[in-house]
Amino acid sequence: MEFRILNKDFIDIRSLDTYSSFIWSERYNHYGDFEIVVGPTDENLESLKEDFYVWSLESEHTMIIEDVRISTDVEIGNELIITGRSLESILSGRTAWQTIILEGNVQQGIQRLLNESIINPIDSSRRIPNFVFNTNNDPYISSLTFDSPVEVSVGSDIFTKVRQLCVERYIGFKITLSEDNNFIFSLYSGIDRSYNQSTNPYVIFSPEFDNLFNSNFFSSVRGLRTVALVGGENPRDETQERIFVEVSLPSGGGSGLSRRELFVDASGISRNIGRPEEVPLPIYIDMLRQRGLETLALHIRETAFEGGIDISNMYVFGVDFFMGDIVQVANEFRMEHPSRIVELIRSLTNEGFKAVPTFVTIM
């Protein structure tokens, strides 16, 4: 890969195509990260600085240089190591400064979060002038709604909240750098290219096609929880009792050994914050129920494929399939599932170039 370096003013100052190694990771609903190891030459020391940007024609993601280290070693020599995260990490620099209740359309709710913390906040010093929200008109994205009100409490990390809202709905988010140097935030959903559909051309990764190798299959119920007991705010009046709500997975909570319980402390969700008057009890119960569902969504059975793939011959990444797409994956043990691409790590080391994706199985 050839990398381009941009300074803080987004001026392209140089090409970086000579390096010892690199790791370039992209993710579906998380920020990516990178590491590039080069020699500590005067040119590299002058141009590879904190808060500069790194991009490549082979990726739609732009990375921010966050860490610069010089390592000296008698055997391997001196190295300059730069690392950082993709533009999505910008959201981790903002927290909610007031309680926000999200209702109705999900995309509009996420836009409101970004408006109040980045795009058009009350405190103008919090504003990032070149940050733009790009509405996705994909019917799947635009039709998503909240089942019940969602409270974003004061102090909530904006990145964590946006990611949680996306993970629960199996959608991705990304921030790309436009030609006029704007940070473009958008939601998106991958395309189904598995055997489960007949509209799009299939994309299959399998040893049979010589495009999947060194594969690992992982399945775990260690963190699985099927039922949550959600506790609401602690009553100010001792004569009142704390409200508790039981929430189960859509597939059911199970019984006996198949029932796995979790307690969710939702005391931060208040009936008096974020609204001019006290939230009616039925709506408040719905808010607690939503918090329970959100928490259960983070405690599901984990099933994933991981393995090296050939992304340049039979199927080309960025042409035949993209981040977030659902593809067909099969290993030599006849384990075959439609799987979503949620991560792609490209690297160049002493062992050569590798492209290792992570597929999350669609159950």
pLDDT score of 274 more than 60: no
> What's the pTM?
0.81
Q: What is the pLDDT of residue 356?
A: 82
pLDDT score of 125 more than 70: yes
Could you give the CA distance from residue 204 to residue 323 in angstroms, rounded to a whole number? 15
Q: What is the DSSP string of 259-293?
A: --EEEEE-TT--SSSSSSSPPPHHHHHHHHHHHHH
> Which percentage of the chain shows pLDDT scores above 90?
62
Question: Helices (H), strands (E): how many in the chain?
Answer: 5, 21
> Which pLDDT tens digit goes with each residue over 258-272?
999 999 999 888 887
Q: What is the pLDDT of residue 276?
A: 63
The domain 94-188 is placed in CATH, from the list 2.60.120.560, 3.65.10.10, 3.40.50.2300, 3.55.50.10, at: 3.55.50.10
Q: At what angle do helices 158-168 and 281-297 cross, to 10 degrees?
A: 80
pLDDT score of 114 more than 90: yes
Burial 155-165 (b: 16+ CB within 10 A, else e): ebbbbebbbbb
Q: Outline where DSSP puts E strands in 87-223.
A: 100-102, 131-133, 150-152, 172-177, 183-188, 204-205, 212-220
Q: What is the pLDDT of residue 68?
A: 96
- Read off the tokens for 116: 């109040």
Q: List Cβ neighbours of 351 (8 Å cut-off, separation of 6 or more).
A: none
Q: Which of 63, 32, 92 is CA-nearest to residue 357?
A: 32
Whether residue 358 contacts residue 304, with contact meaning beta carbons closer than 8 Å, is answered with yes
Q: What is the mean pLDDT of the chain?
A: 90
> Which pLDDT tens digit goes with each residue over 196-237?
999 999 999 887 887 777 667 777 889 899 999 999 988 877
